């Protein structure tokens, strides 16, 4: 078990994060922390640095500053070990793979198995569980590239989930999904969090963001505001960050974000 | 020159990403056994076929009139086609997996142009002798082809400043290919007497392969297959995207370095013994993928076997179809490969676009 028994370190602690992509300074001194178990949504205007933040935590882009996982610097953790602790699903990754759906999700076991070719029973179980949770078990023998956008999206989320990492980073998981599947995904992610997982999602749809536990609002490469999704201060911050072109109101079923 | 289509394919692959058509999948074992049986049949055919037409299987018995002909000429050529084709099939599968493009072929990092340049230099140094001269000459030419191929790849990697990005590597490969091709043409203008021999090399043939060639190629094949199988899982992960593979713990730089090493070994050895043979490396993985095998641990083995079958089949056609004359092997593979690609593209044109 990582971490000290007496002092509980946050799962992820980011300090003064600077990330430069090409010639653009995308993240400019971002600092935040996320605890487990929690469902965090990272929101903000286009170009605020949301995807980049997730990529930095997954060590996929070079960065300056400190990112600690349970008190240990990410730079000190070896790639396979880090892959077992942090699972990532990207927004613009390739969807042309000719592999079967089951084989795609089986790749999630790579951090646990390395280059070994034969998969154990444990791996098979995890893959079946993930396929089942995302309701794509019936598609497992189909070719990934020939699925519809929504089906591919659910397979990719299953792939990220089957890693069973304590931290799961999902970039725009609700993209391509129709409303019923979006609702199913909300339920599935909530269940994962209840089982102790920390999930950080980048979300464009503010209504979906309001259904998560914690909102991290980014603007211009820094954290603009962080707070619980129920808190009115968070709602006012959201309205301010989007130039008051949105309004958060209460309805019978919860909070809703209206555009004006 | 055949070099230009190879370079165009390389350039084309930077931008075009077609999707394979999938027919119902065959099991790995079924495909393996079928290909092995086909290979065996072709070997027997290869031993019986030749410039004097087809002879019966009696040729295998030592007493037979043409038995010596079979042992000294047809057997080495058949084995060379088998092992060379396997090397090219394997290299093709690796190239397509590493660069995540089904149009990649084994020559894409400047190995074809490097080998050609090496052979031109050797031909000039040897005073423009024909390829029919003694074994020392042939050894010198094979050696130059091998060194030239490896120099081409090393130069591409050096220009790309290491194994950091696939895109940069591909681009530098094309650049190196074009520059070496230009140097080769310049040499051709200065020393036109070597052009005819060079043309024979570029057309590809099993004519100059002896038993030692096959030993060399089978040896390289054994090393390459074991090496590739060791890193095959990383290629599977790469099919989901480079960042996804990295997030799964794949060391991209190390993976690229290993696979480019495998590529160089396979293409260098194959080119040095058989000359430039187009399309086998491109088509073999395609055929296997269309029959349903895409996991790299399966694709590597099956693509090798498929390449062996394709090249041996083409060699038999080249040797016997216009007997007693021979068609250049590279010509036959280019024709067959071109027709196959046309057929595949036609299938896609009828399907839903953008899928």
Out of B189-203, B314-328, B335-349, pick the least confident.
B335-349
Contact A6, A57 (CB under 8 A): no
Q: What is residue B278's three-state secondary structure?
A: coil
Contact A205, A213 (CB under 8 A): no
CA distance B50 to B202: 22
Of the pLDDT bands very low, low, confident and very high (cuts 50, 70, 90), residue B16 is very low
Instruction: Please state whether B269 falls in left (phi above 0), alpha (psi between -120 and 50) or beta.
Output: alpha
- pLDDT by 10s per residue, chain A, length 260: 444 444 456 789 999 999 999 889 999 999 999 987 899 999 998 888 999 999 999 999 999 999 999 989 999 999 999 999 999 999 988 888 889 999 999 999 999 988 777 778 889 999 999 999 999 999 999 999 999 999 999 999 999 999 999 999 999 999 999 999 999 999 999 999 998 889 999 999 999 999 999 999 999 899 999 999 999 999 999 999 888 999 999 888 888 998 88
Peptide bond preceding B324: is omega within 30 degrees of 0, i.e. cis?
yes
Q: What is the mean pLDDT of residues B144-157?
A: 94
Residues of A in Cβ contact (< 8 Å) with B249:
79-84, 110-111, 114
Q: Do A55 and B243 touch (CB under 8 A)?
A: yes
H-helix or E-strand spanning residue B133: none
Read off the pLDDT of residues B64-103 as tens digits, 9 standing for 90 and up. Answer: 777 777 778 888 999 999 999 999 999 999 999 999 888 8
Task: List the single residue in A60, A115, A116 with the smallest CB-CB distance to B243.
Answer: A60
Q: Quick one: tokens of A136?
A: 């794509």
- pLDDT score recorded for residue A1: 45
- pLDDT score recorded for residue B355: 32
Closest CA to B244 of A118, A143, A111: A111
Q: What is the mean pLDDT of residues B1-20?
A: 47
Does B204 score more than 50 pLDDT?
yes
A183 to chain B, minimum CA–CA distance in Å?
26
C-alpha angle with apex B73: B214 to B127, nearest 5 degrees? 80
Does B258 score more than 50 pLDDT?
yes
CA distance B177 to B4: 10
CA distance A136 to A131: 5
The structure tokens 């909530």 sit at A190
Closest CA to B284 of B263, B259, B264, B304: B304
Of the pLDDT bands very low, low, confident and very high (cuts 50, 70, 90), residue B348 is low
Is B240 within 8 Å of chain A by CB?
yes
Is B241 within 8 Å of chain A by CB?
yes
Read off the pLDDT of residues B97-149 as tens digits, 9 standing for 90 and up. Answer: 999 888 888 998 999 999 999 999 988 888 755 555 666 777 888 899 999 99
Beta-carbon pairs below 8 A across chains A and B? 90
A184 to chain B, minimum CA–CA distance in Å?
24
Task: List the single residue in A99, A104, A111 with the smallest CB-CB distance to B249.
Answer: A111
Q: What is the ipTM of this complex?
A: 0.92
The structure tokens 């040499």 sit at B187
Does B21 score more than 50 pLDDT?
no
CA distance B150 to B66: 40
Q: Which of B246, B247, B292, B300 to mutate to probe the A interface, most A CBs <10 Å?
A: B247
CA distance B251 to B13: 24
Read off the pLDDT of residues B207-237 as tens digits, 9 standing for 90 and up. Answer: 888 888 899 999 999 999 999 999 999 999 9
Q: Do B247 and A86 touch (CB under 8 A)?
A: yes
Is B234 within 8 Å of chain A by CB?
yes
Task: List the single residue in A79, A116, A145 with the smallest CB-CB distance to B249.
Answer: A79
Classify strands A246-251 and A254-259 as parallel, antiparallel or unpaired: antiparallel
The structure tokens 């500053």 sit at A65
Residues of A in Cβ contact (< 8 Å) with B344:
none
DSSP class per residue in B11-80: HHHTT-------PSPPPHHHHHHHHHHHHHHHHHHHHH-STT----GGGGSTTSTTHHHIIIIIHHHHHH
A258 to chain B, minimum CA–CA distance in Å?
34
Of the pLDDT bands very low, low, confident and very high (cuts 50, 70, 90), residue B22 is very low
Of the pLDDT bands very low, low, confident and very high (cuts 50, 70, 90), residue B18 is very low
CA distance A9 to B200: 70
Q: What is the mean pLDDT of residues B289-310?
A: 90
Question: Would you give the distance in Å from CA A146 to the centre of its chain?
Answer: 25
Q: What is the mean pLDDT of residues B238-267?
A: 94
Residues of A in Cβ contact (< 8 Å) with B22:
98, 143, 146
Classify strands A214-219 and A24-34 as parallel, antiparallel or unpaired: unpaired
Q: Do B229 and A94 touch (CB under 8 A)?
A: no
Out of B2-11, B164-173, B265-274, B340-349, pick the least confident.
B2-11
Q: What is residue B251's three-state secondary structure?
A: coil
What's the 3-state SS for chain A?
A: CCCCCCCCCCCEEEEEEEEEECCEEEEEEEEEEECCCEEEEEEECCCCCHHHHHHHHCCCCCCEEEEEECCEEHHHCCHHHHHHHEEEECCCCCCCCCCEHHHHHHHHHHHHHCCCCCCCHHHHHHHHHHHHHCCCHHHCCCEHHHCCHHHHHHHHHHHHHCCCCCEEEEECCCCCCCHHHHHHHHHHHHHHHHCCCEEEEECCCHHHHCCCCEEEEEECCEEEEEEECCCHHHHHHHHHHCCCCEEEEEECCEEEEEEC
B191 to chain A, minimum CA–CA distance in Å?
47
CA distance B277 to B312: 12
Does B287 score more than 60 pLDDT?
yes
- pLDDT score recorded for residue B15: 45
Other CB atoms closer than 10 Å to residue A150's CB: what's the count?
15
Which residue of chain B comes nearest to A107, CA vs CA? B237
Q: Do B233 and A159 touch (CB under 8 A)?
A: no
CA distance B6 to B279: 9
The partner residues of B65 in beta bridges, in order of sequence, read none
Contact B153, B187 (CB under 8 A): no
Q: Which of B16, B23, B248 to mutate to probe the A interface, most A CBs <10 Å?
A: B248
Read off the pLDDT of residues B177-197 as tens digits, 9 standing for 90 and up. Answer: 999 999 999 999 998 888 888
In sign, the C-alpha dihedral spanning B124, B127, B130, B133 is negative
**Looking at residue B279, what DSSP letter applies?**
S
- pLDDT score recorded for residue A9: 62
User: What residues contact B339, with CB distance under 8 A and at least 6 apart?
Assistant: none
**Looking at residue B10, what DSSP letter applies?**
H
Closest CA to A212 of A227, A195, A196, A233: A227
Entry pTM: 0.87
Q: Do A103 and B234 touch (CB under 8 A)?
A: no
Q: What is the mean pLDDT of residues B11-19?
A: 45
CA distance B326 to B67: 21
In sign, the C-alpha dihedral spanning A200, A202, A207, A208 is negative
Q: Quick one: tokens of B238?
A: 């790469």
DSSP class per residue in B298-312: HHHHHHHHHHHHHHH
Is B22 within 8 Å of chain A by CB?
yes
């Amino acid at each position: 078990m990582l971490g000290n028994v007496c002092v509980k370190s946050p799962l992820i602690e980011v300090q003064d994060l600077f990330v430069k992509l090409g010639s653009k300074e995308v993240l400019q001194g971002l600092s935040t922390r996320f605890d487990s178990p929690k469902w965090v949504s990272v929101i903000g205007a286009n170009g605020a640095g949301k995807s980049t933040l997730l990529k930095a935590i997954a060590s996929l882009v070079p960065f300056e500053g400190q990112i600690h996982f349970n008190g240990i610097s990410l730079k000190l953790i070896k790639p396979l070990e880090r892959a077992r602790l942090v699972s990532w699903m990207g927004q613009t990754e390739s969807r042309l793979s000719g592999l079967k759906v089951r084989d795609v999700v089986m790749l999630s076991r790579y951090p646990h198995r390395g280059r070994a070719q034969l998969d154990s029973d444990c791996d098979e179980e995890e893959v079946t569980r993930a396929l089942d949770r995302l309701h794509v078990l019936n598609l497992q023998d189909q070719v990934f590239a020939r699925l519809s956008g929504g089906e591919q999206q659910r397979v990719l989320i299953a792939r990220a989930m089957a890693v069973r990492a304590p931290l799961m980073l999902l970039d725009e998981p609700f993209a391509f999904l129709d409303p019923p599947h979006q609702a199913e995904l909300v339920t599935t992610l909530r269940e994962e969090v209840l089982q102790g997982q920390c999930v950080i999602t980048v979300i464009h749809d503010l209504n979906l963001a309001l259904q998560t536990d914690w909102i991290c609002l980014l603007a211009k490469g820094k954290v603009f505001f962080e707070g619980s999704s129920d808190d009115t201060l968070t709602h006012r911050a959201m309205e301010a960050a989007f130039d008051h072109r949105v309004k958060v109101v209460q309805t019978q079923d919860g909070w809703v974000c209206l555009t004006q | 020159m055949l070099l230009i289509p190879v370079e165009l394919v390389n350039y084309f692959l930077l931008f075009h990403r077609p999707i394979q058509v999938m027919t119902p999948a065959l099991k790995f074992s079924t495909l393996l056994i079928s290909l092995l049986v086909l290979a065996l049949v072709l070997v027997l055919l290869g031993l019986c076929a030749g410039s004097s037409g087809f002879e019966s299987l009696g040729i295998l018995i030592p007493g037979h009139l043409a038995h010596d002909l079979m042992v000294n000429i047809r057997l080495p050529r058949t084995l060379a086609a088998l092992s060379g084709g396997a090397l090219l099939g394997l290299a093709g599968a690796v190239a397509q997996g590493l660069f995540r493009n089904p149009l990649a072929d084994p020559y894409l990092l400047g190995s074809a142009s490097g080998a050609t340049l090496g052979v031109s230099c050797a031909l000039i140094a040897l005073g423009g002798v024909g390829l029919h001269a003694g074994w020392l000459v042939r050894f010198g030419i094979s050696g130059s082809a091998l060194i030239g191929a490896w120099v081409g790849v090393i130069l591409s990697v050096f220009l790309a400043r290491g194994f950091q990005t696939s895109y940069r590597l591909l681009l530098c490969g094309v650049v190196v290919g074009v520059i070496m091709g230009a140097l080769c043409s310049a040499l051709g203008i200065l020393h036109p007497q070597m052009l005819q021999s060079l043309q024979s090399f570029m057309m590809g043939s099993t004519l100059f392969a002896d038993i030692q060639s096959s030993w060399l190629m089978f040896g390289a094949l054994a090393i390459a297959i074991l090496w590739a199988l060791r890193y095959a899982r990383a290629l599977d992960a790469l099919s989901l995207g480079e960042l996804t593979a990295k997030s799964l713990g794949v060391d991209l730089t190390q993976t690229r370095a290993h696979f480019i090493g495998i590529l160089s070994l396979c293409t260098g050895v194959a080119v040095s013994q058989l000359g430039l043979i187009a399309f086998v490396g491109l088509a073999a993985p395609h055929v296997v993928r269309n029959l349903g095998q895409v996991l790299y641990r399966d694709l590597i083995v099956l693509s090798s076997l498929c390449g062996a079958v394709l090249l041996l089949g083409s060699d038999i056609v080249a040797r016997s179809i216009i007997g007693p004359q021979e068609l250049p092997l590279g010509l036959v593979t280019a024709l067959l490969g071109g027709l196959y690609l046309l057929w595949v593209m036609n299938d896609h044109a009828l399907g839903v676009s953008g899928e």
